[in-house]
Chain A
Amino acid sequence: MKRYLSIFVVLVLLIGLGSSVLAEKATINMFISMPEYSDAIHELIDAYQEVKPDVTINYETTQNDYPTLLKVKLNSGDLPDIFASTSGKEIELYKEYSRDLSDQPLMETMLPAIKEAMTDANGDGMYGIAIKGNYFGLIYNKDLFEQADITKFPETISELEIAIEKLEAEGITPFSSGFGEWWVFKHVFQHFMAAATDDVPALIQKFEKGEAKIKDYPELYDNFFRFVDLVKEHGDAKPLESSLNTEISSFATGRAAMIIGQGPWVEDSIKEIDPGLKIGFAGYPVSEDPSQSQVITGADQAVRISKESDVLPEVLDFVNWWYTSDYGKAWFADVAGVVPPIAVDVESDYAIINQGSAAVEKKGSAPLGIIYSTDAFHSAFGETMQAYVGGAADKEATCTIIEKLWMEIDGEK
């Protein structure tokens, strides 16, 4: 059915276009998520147009529901030449449509951490490139911490508890949680995952097979839930209505000293409200060991090349140019303002990126745990945690549900 329908569509298109477009320009269709970089990508495309005038790039993006739209395109036989997914676990999902890029020149510039996120489950092949590296950690207001006389940002949970007391003594609300957003939980959880094990993917596989229990990992069972409790008790009045916007506005107006689950992507919005705010960025206190309080860096989004593309050579030329040309290499920091996924020396204007890279240099980076589970799991995980925060389920029941979700959604079927 699918095939006949697509043949029909293609025939109609051919009849319609055939007469006008014969041996003309090559057209690359690009449909990716991350609309926040659309201006930057338009600039990139314009720059490429000067290098290769005979290649046209149709760039399309969406704010909402990218995976669903991609599936619709895919099943109607209209797979874009360049598309996107998350990295890690989802690499496998679209593998049969993706071109293995491990023989391409862009491999030379790509950072090893990014490569790792783009390989498949067996560690073979390389099925995507990243538009950006990213940092995950806790964002805090340096002035408010100074006002509460906290000289060193807490690195352990007991230090965090003391800091909360000091902040509240000054009448400052310590947290804004964003617990209304399911993805806040996954961003926080990965830090505790990193503390619980040295090999995050292996532990997640054990959970998916039902061989591990959350209770056996105190960093998850005690520390993670302790942290969530602390944020709930010392945060927004209505935690489950707190969204990304609540976090940004509370933080930028000084009504909350810390926001959780966020990263460099909120800095612009905060600066728009208060350009003078002194933003601090650090790892989460995840245990009683200060060395485990690390920020996380890596690439959570993958841009992928369709194996079946009619203009495969042109597409490969384009992404190689993106990763290896002088303009392309400078684009990441200068135009898009992101953490470059390639090896270049850059000075960033962003406080979060600068402090993130400084923290990685000093204490190392924890592994990017979120990419080893699908967003399907993460959204269900977030909902379960929301039920916990709302008091609809206790810790015991919440852990049981999470273990079940891991097996049902991400486990072998």
Chain B
Amino acid sequence: MNRKRLEKVETFLFTMPAAILVSVMIYIPFVMSAVYSLTEWNGISKAVTFIGIENFKTIFLESKQFLNVLIFTGKYTALFMILSNVLALVLAVVLVKKIKTANILRGVFFVPYIMSMTIVGFIWKFIFSQGFARLFEISEWGLLNLSWLGNGDLAFYSVVFVGVWQQLGFYIVLYIAGLQAVPEDVLEAATVDGASKVKRFFRITLPLLGPSITICLFMSLTNGLKVFDIILALTKGGPGGATYSATLDIYREAFQYNNYGIGSAKALIFFVIILILTQLVLGFSRRNEVEL
């Protein structure tokens, strides 16, 4: 009895520092921003006016702007999820083969991931403008002469491309780990049964990759929805506001337009959207996992 109690006290004491830190960093600010979402405040003045749900009314009824950035974020996330998962899976399958340069290639694909998003953004901004211009002079490929960051539609693809390029290595590593865990004997048995390479991949390897796919889908979903720094560094939401993601729009509302209340309200709405989406995707991919 006494020992049990001691254990309880220990558990409590050991988790306290972490719990306090997490609360101070995450939960308390979260609750505070929920409170601010019900107020009109410019982030500077000492007077904070309570206005109830007025901010939410403004967002839903008066302005289409938030809807537009949500649509943009949705499009970005969808394309980002598809591209990063498909490409990462293909590359992972190639990289677990016994090719000579496999280890070097793994490193090459992983390097962008350890670079800061902002730096990646600036590097690509340079490539898209000066780099492409010079390459066009040499090669005269019309594709290089397009205004990849200066045209609203193209800028969307540029942003997705750089986002995928930067994150790819991370998903490759997860998929490689999953592929290496696929038991050889099952694959051998399939070979003996006369299954072709393609059939083996789709009928055995892919289903057994279930846990990796779940994790990768989940991570790419949240990373896609949270996209911020890459856009800030590449286009700052431009040209003409064509590439504002939800997070960037919240930042702009709160810190540039000085509408801290509306910004908090948007953040809260976006939180609910992320919560629902992640639960849906997680539930869906969990249901489709198979176990040996």
Residues of chain A having any CB pair with chain B under 8 Å: 1, 67-68, 71, 74-75, 93-94, 96, 180, 182, 237-241, 243, 246, 374-376, 379-380, 383-390, 392-393, 409, 413
A71-B43, A375-B256, A379-B256 known; A393+B147 contact, CB < 8 A:
no
**Contact A390 B152, beta carbon cutoff 8 Å:** yes
A375-B256, A409-B257 known; A240+B151 contact, CB < 8 A:
yes
CB distance from A213 to the nearest CB of B (A): 21
**Contact B147 A240, beta carbon cutoff 8 Å:** yes
Interface positions of B from 226 to 262, Cβ below 8 Å from A: 236-242, 255-258
**Contact B255 A67, beta carbon cutoff 8 Å:** yes
Cβ-based interface call for B167 (8 A): no
Residue of B nearest to A243 (CB): B129
**Contact A71 B240, beta carbon cutoff 8 Å:** no
Cβ-based interface call for B149 (8 A): yes
Interface positions of B from 10 to 69, Cβ below 8 Å from A: 32, 40, 42-46
Supply 24 A–B pairs (Cβ within 8 Å), ascending by A: A67-B256, A68-B255, A71-B43, A71-B255, A93-B44, A96-B45, A182-B236, A182-B238, A238-B129, A240-B151, A240-B238, A241-B128, A241-B147, A241-B150, A374-B258, A379-B256, A383-B240, A383-B241, A385-B240, A386-B238, A387-B152, A387-B242, A388-B240, A392-B240
Residue of A nearest to B63 (CB): A408
Instruction: Name the contact of B150 in the complex, choosing from A96, A238, A375 (C-beta under 8 A).
Output: A238
In addition to A380-B257, A387-B242, A409-B257, 14 A-B residue pairs with Cβ atoms within 8 Å of each other are A68-B255, A93-B44, A93-B258, A94-B44, A96-B45, A180-B149, A180-B238, A239-B150, A243-B129, A374-B258, A386-B238, A386-B240, A390-B151, A392-B152
A residues within 8 A CB of B258? 93, 374, 376
CB distance from A236 to the nearest CB of B (A): 9
Interface positions of B from 187 to 246, Cβ below 8 Å from A: 236-242
B residues within 8 A CB of A243? 129
**Contact B147 A238, beta carbon cutoff 8 Å:** yes
**Contact B42 A240, beta carbon cutoff 8 Å:** no
Instruction: Name the contact of B237 in the complex, choosing from A68, A96, A383 (C-beta under 8 A).
Output: A383
**Contact A180 B43, beta carbon cutoff 8 Å:** no
User: Bound complex: CA of A67 vs CA of B240, how far in Å?
Assistant: 22
Residue of A nearest to B236 (CB): A182
SS class, residues of chain A in contact with chain B: helix
CB distance from B245 to the nearest CB of A (A): 15
Interface positions of B from 118 to 154, Cβ below 8 Å from A: 128-129, 145, 147, 149-152
**Contact A384 B240, beta carbon cutoff 8 Å:** yes
User: Bound complex: CA of A335 vs CA of B45, how far in Å?
Assistant: 36
A residues within 8 A CB of B46? 96
Residue of A nearest to B148 (CB): A241
**Contact A383 B238, beta carbon cutoff 8 Å:** yes
Residues of chain B having any CB pair with chain A under 8 Å: 32, 40, 42-46, 128-129, 145, 147, 149-152, 236-242, 255-258
B residues within 8 A CB of A387? 152, 239-242
CB distance from B180 to the nearest CB of A (A): 43
CB distance from A381 to the nearest CB of B (A): 11
B residues within 8 A CB of A74? 44
User: Bound complex: CA of A90 vs CA of B263, how far in Å?
Assistant: 20
Residue in A182, A388, A389, A392 with the greatest tally of chain B CB atoms within 10 Å: A392
Residue in A74, A246, A376 with the greatest tally of chain B CB atoms within 10 Å: A376
User: Bound complex: CA of A388 vs CA of B20, how far in Å?
Assistant: 50
B residues within 8 A CB of A389? 239-240
A383-B238, A387-B239, A390-B150 known; A376+B42 contact, CB < 8 A:
no
**Contact B240 A390, beta carbon cutoff 8 Å:** yes
User: Bound complex: CA of A75 vs CA of B43, how far in Å?
Assistant: 8
CB distance from A121 to the nearest CB of B (A): 15
Residue of A nearest to B24 (CB): A5
User: Bound complex: CA of A10 vs CA of B43, how far in Å?
Assistant: 21
Residue of B nearest to A246 (CB): B129
A93-B44, A96-B46, A413-B40 known; A376+B149 contact, CB < 8 A:
no
CB distance from A228 to the nearest CB of B (A): 13
Instruction: Name the contact of A392 in the complex, choosing from B44, B242, B255 (C-beta under 8 A).
Output: B242
A residues within 8 A CB of B147? 238, 240-241
CB distance from A134 to the nearest CB of B (A): 22
A239-B150, A241-B128, A390-B150 known; A93+B238 contact, CB < 8 A:
no
CB distance from B198 to the nearest CB of A (A): 44
User: Bound complex: CA of A375 vs CA of B239, how far in Å?
Assistant: 18
User: Bound complex: CA of A75 vs CA of B150, how far in Å?
Assistant: 37
**Contact B255 A393, beta carbon cutoff 8 Å:** no
